[in-house]
Amino acid sequence: MEKIEFWKDKEKGIIDPKLFSDKAEDLAKTIANDCKLRDNKNKNKISQIRKFYDEVVRLNMEAKSESADWDKILPIVNMITAKTAYAMGRKLITENFLVFIRTSIKQIQEPEDLSVFANLFEAFYGFYKFHSPENK
């Protein structure tokens, strides 16, 4: 799976122009294709992916509030990786989904990074819902 970078130029605040389109769809296809393997038939369910998406959106909204304390939010953002690893341990998600979450979370240092990740996750989720074997 290709590593996804959020920023084309972080200094200038320029997001990779293909992040929410081509890259999000390629990622969705890769993770959807994982489910076609016999051992992965019950993994990456749309409802399971949605739980992680909802958590990211909630934290992003919290980070944007006027009373936001980023120093308290960032550790919870980082804990999403542990929650994803736990889901993998329970055989609910595939390794590629864990890699997506892990590499994305590692890029989050500031609220703007979390906002980009929330938008990427939204784009990914839309494409995933379209490509998921659950919809076939």
Q: Give every CB contact of residue 92 below 8 A, 6+ residues apart in sequence.
A: 43, 45, 48
The pLDDT of residue 38 is 79
**How many Å apart are CA 86 and CA 29, to the nearest integer?**
23
Are 136 and 41 in contact, with CB atoms under 8 Å apart?
no
pLDDT one-digit tens code per residue, 62-109 = 999 999 999 999 999 999 999 999 999 999 999 999 999 999 999 999
Burial group, residue 11, by CB count within 10 angstroms (0-12, 13-18, 19+): exposed
Mean pLDDT of 49-70: 97
| pTM of this structure | 0.94
Length of the chain: 136
Q: Could you give the C-alpha distances from 84 to 22, 66, 98, 112, in angstroms and in order?
A: 24, 29, 6, 22
**Residue 86 CB neighbour total at 10 angstroms:** 11
What confidence score (pLDDT) does residue 16 get?
97
Domain locations in the chain as residue ranges: 44-135
